[in-house]
Amino acid sequence: MKIFKNFIGLAALALCLGFASCSSDNDAPSYSTVAVDNSQLKTLLAGKGYTFDENGKLLLDDKATSTTSLDLSGTQVDTAALKELSVFPNLKELNLSNNGYGETFDFSVLPAQITGIDLTNNDIYNYDNLVKVTVEENGDETVENLHNITKLYLPEEAKYNIAQLMRFYRQNKSAIDGGTMDVEMQNANGSLEKYNTLREIPDETLRKTLKETFSQMFNGDKIDISNYILDDKQRIAALQITEGVSDFEGIQYVVESPYWNGASIALASNDPETKVPTLNLSENINAITLLNVSVDGINIPDDSKLRYIYLGNVSSLKVIDLSKSVIFGQRNGKDDLDTSSGSGIIVYDCPSIESIILPNKDNLRANYLDIECLPSLKQFDMSKFVELNTLVIGDLPETYNLVYPNLKEFGDTQFNSTMFAISKNAFNAFTDVSDAFIKKYYLATPSCLTYQSYMSSDNNKAYKWSRYY
């Protein structure tokens, strides 16, 4: 009997321990399977009352599991950290307004479950990986949504984006118009309005000129950035506006249109304060001319075919970057030195230019190389040029390290020699290297350097160097 009682006692104890164990397992806290590694994001979330273990895993308490929207506005949170928000099992919407984001927002950083995002009051211009676009041989497009976005609030700068947002809108227009998808964009006053593809061209002369040249892009007096059915003439027409415009706002709707395949841009004004918006060139642009205007930036894409750039009296611009061009100086002597379709850089009277960046290639060739009156110039390496029709050096800062081209070929030049002009100030500022350059090529047998008197800037006059050698 005693043995039986002891057995019952042990069984009861075991049962109690079992219940205690089960109770302990059920009450154990649950954490996310992955950690939040970004310290900035983890600090921000902790400040909002979310709890993490020592490894950075999120405590999946009622607060975390009931979170369907998260306000990270004004936090400047690193966009690279946004993927880690997948630790919230039911998170659907993100507020990322007022975060100082600039130029590009990449939708691939968002967790897959995000369906709503607020990007207002940021300086975002480009929107990557929102849609996938496939262009057929006949020009028809197939657009595929890459994210299940049903709510999208955009800053005013979004009106310039054509590559992704316009296609996203066109792909989802019925849902947007029907109200099952909410896509809005800030206006100039900061208020949200329903997104559309109609854009204003403020300057009357510019609007009239564009309408005459690209009539099928217009809907009344507004340009419709979604219009892609252009006739052959409009599709390849050069963009040339050289008088009467006091504001080039809106020119980017043509320049950045994926449906315009023109190869050249020429913009000029009578007023040097005339503003040209940042130009994001397509890969098809091979020549750009800007005269007497102000522009903040010229961006060229990968595989750019840009071969010629002419800038005269252009303010604000700091960098000319040709590094992504697959054409400039890289063809052959005949093509690169051609007087009508060759490679060339002509930059003068541009007070803000600090650097001119060339493709990282050896043995570059060009028809024309002209740098004059660039008081801020710090970087321009001409040493990789082996053949030039014409070289012009104007007034440059004395702190600039002038390195002349290492010319080796002259067979494709116009006179079997390189035409050379230099201002007196430039010669005096860089006497040693200029003297060595002239002696090397002018005194060669046969001579490979010819005096040229013409200079692009009215502020320069060619030094008659040839009479002293």
In angstroms, the CA 70 to CA 84 distance is 13
In angstroms, the CA 120 to CA 104 distance is 13
Helix (H) or strand (E) holding 212: helix 204-213
Question: Cβ(361)–Cβ(329) under 8 Å?
Answer: yes
- Chain centre to alpha carbon of residue 214: 25
Report in angstroms the alpha-carbon separations of 278 from 82, 98, 100, 391, 393: 28, 22, 19, 29, 28
pTM of the model: 0.84
- What backbone torsions phi and psi does residue 16 show, to the nearest 5 degrees? -65, -45
| Residue 381 predicted with pLDDT over 90 | yes
236-292 pLDDT, tens digit per residue, is: 888 999 889 999 999 999 998 888 889 999 999 999 999 999 999 989 999 999 999
184-242 pLDDT, tens digit per residue, is: 999 999 999 999 999 999 999 999 999 999 988 999 999 999 987 677 888 888 899 98
Q: What is the mean pLDDT of the segment spanning 104-125?
A: 96
419-436 pLDDT, tens digit per residue, is: 999 999 999 999 999 999
In angstroms, the CA 367 to CA 337 distance is 4
Using the structure block, give the residue that is written with the tokens 């009539």.
Answer: 215
- Residues in the chain, overall count: 469
pLDDT at 229: 62
Domain-by-domain residue ranges, the chain? 37-194
pLDDT at 183: 98
pLDDT at 418: 98
Q: What is the mean pLDDT of the segment spanning 365-382?
A: 97
Mean pLDDT across the chain: 92
pLDDT at 27: 65
Using the structure block, give the residue that is written with the tokens 């350059």.
Answer: 437
Q: What is the per-residue DSSP string for 253-284?
A: HHHT-TT----EEEEE-SSTT-EE--EE--TT
- What backbone torsions phi and psi does residue 224 show, to the nearest 5 degrees? -105, 110
Q: What is the mean pLDDT of the segment spanning 371-394?
A: 97
Report in angstroms the alpha-carbon separations of 373 from 92, 270, 319, 368, 422: 55, 20, 15, 17, 11
For 122, the token pair is 């940021």
Question: Cβ(420)–Cβ(452) under 8 Å?
Answer: yes
Report in angstroms the alpha-carbon separations of 249 from 163, 209, 215, 245, 274: 18, 13, 18, 10, 10
In angstroms, the CA 7 to CA 17 distance is 15
Task: Of 357, 355, 351, give the one whose Cα is nearest residue 328.
Answer: 357
5-63 pLDDT, tens digit per residue, is: 443 443 443 433 333 333 345 567 899 999 999 999 999 999 999 999 999 999 999 99
Task: Of 427, 426, 416, 425, give the one whose Cα is nearest residue 450.
Answer: 416
Strand partners, 287: 264, 308
pLDDT at 26: 56
Strand partners, 268: 291
Cis peptide before 29 (omega within 30 of 0): no
- What backbone torsions phi and psi does residue 371 show, to the nearest 5 degrees? -125, 120
* 52: DSSP letter: B
- What backbone torsions phi and psi does residue 364 show, to the nearest 5 degrees? -80, 150
Using the structure block, give the residue that is written with the tokens 């014409």.
Answer: 390
Question: Cβ(96)–Cβ(117) under 8 Å?
Answer: yes
294: Cβ contacts below 8 Å, ≥ 6 apart:
272, 273, 274, 275, 276, 314, 315, 316, 317
Q: What is the mean pLDDT of the segment spanning 103-120?
A: 96
Report in angstroms the alpha-carbon separations of 234 from 72, 212, 213, 267: 45, 10, 7, 18
140-175 pLDDT, tens digit per residue, is: 789 999 999 999 999 999 999 998 999 999 999 999
- What backbone torsions phi and psi does residue 37 show, to the nearest 5 degrees? -90, -30
Dihedral over Cα of 218, 224, 227, 233: its sign? positive
